[in-house]
C-alpha cells in the first residue's frame, strides 16, 4: 500500500482564473503526495480507496480514466474544459553522464550565432536569462536543441530539469540524443543532476531515456482545466 500525504491547495482559481489544477499526484518510491482542491476531496478519497494499492495500480489506465471522468465533470461544473494532457501520466528520470560521446554537429550556443532555427525554442531569450543550450547544426540550420529548464547560477538546485526539441523533419536521426548528451555532460561537470520528464505514452522519449541510461525517480499525474 502506498503512503499518501494529502495537501489541500488554494482553489481560488476556480472562481477567478483561466486555468485550474484540482489534482496533482507525485509518487517517489512508496510515498504519494496528493495536492488537491478541498471541494474535490470526495473524488480524491474515492480515487485513493480504489487505486491506492501500488504505483502500478494508481497509474493504470483504469485509475487515470476514473480521475479524468470524475474531475472532468467537476471542472465542467465550474465552466472549465479538461485538458487532453490530463489523459496521461509523466515520468521523471535522472540522466547519467555519457563520457566520451560527442557529436561533431553539436555545439553550445552563446547567442552570437546567426543560425536558422528550425525548432520552437526561444534561444536568444533563454541564453539571455542564463539557461544553457546545446544545438545540433546541419549546414546553417539548428535542427535540435537541448536546454536547461532554469538559469544556471550558484543558487540553482542540484537537480535540474532539461528539455529537448527536434525539428519534425530531422527526428529519429539522433540529433536530440546528441544534444542531451552534451548538456548532461556539462551539468555533471558543474555538479548538477539532469532530470528529464516525459509522458508515458511518448514512445520516442521512452527510447531516448533508455538509450541514455535514465533511472526513473518519480511519476506525476495531474488534472488541468481551461476556462472556455
Burial class of residue 62 (count of CB atoms within 10 Å of its CB; 0-12, 13-18, 19+): exposed
**Rounded mean pLDDT of the chain?**
93
Enter the pTM of the model: 0.83
Can you list the alpha helix ranges (DSSP code H) found in the chain? 13-16, 41-51, 55-58, 61-76, 123-128, 175-189, 203-211
The Cα 64–Cα 222 span in angstroms is 10
For 93-146, write each residue's pLDDT tens digit. 999 876 555 678 999 999 888 999 999 899 999 999 999 999 999 999 999 999
Which residue ranges form the domains of the chain, and what is each CATH number? 3-91+220-227 (no CATH), 97-212 (3.40.630.30)
Amino acid at each position: 500500500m502506498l503512503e499518501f500525504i494529502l495537501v489541500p491547495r488554494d482553489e481560488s482559481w476556480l472562481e477567478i482564473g483561466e486555468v485550474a489544477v484540482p489534482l496533482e499526484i507525485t509518487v517517489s518510491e512508496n510515498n504519494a503526495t496528493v495536492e488537491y482542491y478541498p471541494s474535490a476531496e470526495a473524488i480524491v478519497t474515492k480515487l485513493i480507496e480504489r487505486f491506492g494499492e501500488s504505483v502500478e495500480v494508481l497509474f493504470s489506465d483504469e485509475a487515470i480514466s476514473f480521475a479524468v471522468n470524475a474531475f472532468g465533470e467537476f471542472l465542467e461544473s465550474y465552466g472549465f474544459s479538461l485538458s487532453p494532457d490530463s489523459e496521461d501520466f509523466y515520468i521523471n528520470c535522472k540522466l547519467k553522464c555519457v563520457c566520451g560521446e560527442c557529436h561533431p554537429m553539436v555545439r553550445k550556443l552563446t547567442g552570437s550565432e546567426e543560425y536558422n532555427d528550425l525548432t520552437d525554442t526561444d534561444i536568444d531569450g533563454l541564453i539571455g536569462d542564463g539557461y544553457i543550450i546545446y544545438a545540433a547544426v546541419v549546414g546553417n540550420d539548428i535542427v535540435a536543441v537541448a536546454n536547461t529548464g532554469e538559469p544556471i547560477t550558484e543558487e540553482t538546485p542540484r537537480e535540474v530539469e532539461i528539455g529537448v526539441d527536434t525539428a519534425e523533419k530531422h527526428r529519429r536521426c539522433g540529433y536530440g540524443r546528441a544534444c542531451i548528451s552534451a548538456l548532461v555532460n556539462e551539468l555533471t561537470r558543474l555538479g548538477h543532476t539532469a532530470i528529464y520528464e516525459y509522458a508515458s505514452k511518448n514512445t520516442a522519449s521512452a527510447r531516448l531515456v533508455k538509450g541514455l541510461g535514465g533511472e526513473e525517480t518519480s511519476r506525476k499525474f495531474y488534472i488541468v482545466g481551461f476556462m472556455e
